[in-house]
Amino acid sequence: MADFDYDLFVIGAGSGGVRAARVAASHGAKVAIAEEYRIGGTCVIRGCVPKKLLVYGSHFAEDLEDAENYGWSFENAKFDWNRLRDHVLGDVDRLNGLYEKTLESHGVERIMERAVVNGSNTVKLSSGREISAKYILVAVGGWPFVPEFEGSEHCITSNEVFHLDELPKRVVIAGAGYIALEFAGILNALGSHVTVVNRSNVILRGYDESLRDRLLQITMSRGIEYKFHCPFQKVVKREDGAFDVHLEGQDPIIADQILVATGRRPKTDGLGLETAGIELGENGEIPVDEYSRTSCDSIYAVGDVTDRIQLTPVAIREGQAFADTVFGDKPSTVDYDCVPSAVFSQPPLAGVGLTEGEARNTYGNIKVYSSDFRPMKNVFARRQERGLYKLIVEVPTEKVLGLHMIGPDAPEILQAAAIAVKAGLTKQDFDNTVALHPSMAEELVLMR
């Protein structure tokens, strides 16, 4: 066997890369990991974690409003964006430190430089140093995709939104996917006027239609504006520092910030994969087999760079399976069936399994049970917003094919219920479980 500097060289210290590096090291491998920005990757540094903290922070607006009917009054309640922002960024630093410690305690060498592939068993650092490794794992993640239009340099993406100097009064958000809807909720709750602009006429493509309609209705009633079938034409900076956003077939909209959230693409530009004979897919993704192996036997790839399911827990599982397969003598693959997901919009929505549309297309004969209810907490607070839960079942077995929920705490509730869906339980199994009263989750076992 040829001599290599390392058994494993990981490029990218995000969720997938860190898990793979740590587990490979615990299997006895000599491991190094290169990161050009900060250990932790998108999820920890500029994604899920800081976003969720902003969701919590902004949710106090609703809580304070509802508190009145619960007997509380808050005179002069004030919000300070800089305080929240700095506290969130401080927590990101804390987690970044924890990730660094994890790598250290597992004996993984950290190299804080950009690394690119330079042949089947070699990586090249930005300093010019070349390192050899028996295996290379590419886990560089994705990057916000910004469509081409004049003035796009004036827009921000989810990379910058966590660092805003001030809360914008007027925000235009391009796209109507996860990031757009989550930030629309955060900024709207914090007092910004938000306009969501999408190229198509849907929000959250891929989620169950009734839930999307419910979210649209509730967020509109909360003051978020939507413009559909409106591709961006150009953005022009005004003398007062604001921007005119020109859309096809519409009057321009004035905005203080423009957030582009039109998808994320694998970050494979200039990564040198061609030096190992690896051809990229249509979106720049690295094609891999079920073991996350590329067309080059010594190079693997996990996480968003492979464009399978762009979710942190999936990347983590892929990293774990890779390390167990290659270094743990335990061939493992990831099961992509029934992966639950959630959008932390306000209210949030969550789903697992097939949507009603998908189930109908796949099975033809299906049945839908639902519960359309006003949570007790909302009734008391005189908040009109209703929750909606849907259970999609196969006929005649009544096996649950999908579960979809919108309403307070939907992601928290769905995670537990997803176990039942993944286990292949039936509507009868749900009904056999006694309701936990009074709760919103009890609707799960009371659907008609």
* Active centre residues (catalytic): 437
Tokens representing residue 233 in the block: 């034409």
Q: Please, what is the minimum distance in Å from the beta carbon of residue 383 to ligand NDP?
A: 23
Helical H runs in 165-226? 178-190, 209-221
Cis? peptide before 340, omega within 30° of 0: no
**Residue in 64, 125, 202, 368 binding ligand NDP, rule: CB under 6 A:** 202
Residue 341 makes contact with ligand NDP by CB under 6 A: yes
Task: Single out the residue of 382, 398, 355, 376 nearest to residue 443, CA to CA.
Answer: 376
Residue 313 makes contact with ligand NDP by CB under 6 A: no
Residue 178 makes contact with ligand NDP by CB under 6 A: yes
Strands 130-138 and 6-11: parallel
Residue 310 makes contact with ligand NDP by CB under 6 A: yes
Residue 342 makes contact with ligand NDP by CB under 6 A: yes
Residue 199 makes contact with ligand NDP by CB under 6 A: yes
**Residues 31, 20, 33, 102, Cα dihedral to 10°:** -90
Strands 122-125 and 115-117: antiparallel
Residue 195 makes contact with ligand NDP by CB under 6 A: no
Q: Please, what is the minimum distance in Å from the beta carbon of residue 12 to ligand NDP?
A: 16
Please give the size of the binding site for ligand NDP, defined by CB under 6 A.
Answer: 23
136 neighbors 299 (Cβ within 8 angstroms): yes
* Count of helices and strands (H, E) across the chain: 11, 21
Give the interface segment with ligand NDP, choosing from 14-22, 87-95, 198-206, 284-292 (CB under 6 A). Answer: 198-206
Residue 218 makes contact with ligand NDP by CB under 6 A: no
DSSP state of 399: B
351 is in an annotated binding site: no
253 neighbors 222 (Cβ within 8 angstroms): no
Residue 147 makes contact with ligand NDP by CB under 6 A: yes
Q: Please, what is the minimum distance in Å from the beta carbon of residue 355 to ligand NDP?
A: 15
180 is in an annotated binding site: yes
Give the integer Cα–Cα distance in Å for 251 and 233: 11
Tokens representing residue 169 in the block: 């009064």
Give the interface segment with ligand NDP, choosing from 86-94, 173-181, 217-225, 293-301 (CB under 6 A). Answer: 173-181
Closest-by-Cβ residue to ligand NDP is 177
- Total Cβ atoms within 10 A of residue 272: 18
Known binding-site positions: 52, 175-182, 263, 304
User: Under the rule (CB under 6 A), what is the footprint of ligand NDP?
Assistant: 147, 175-180, 182, 198-200, 202, 205, 261-264, 310-311, 341-344
Known binding-site positions for FAD: 52, 304
Known binding-site positions for NAD(+): 175-182, 263
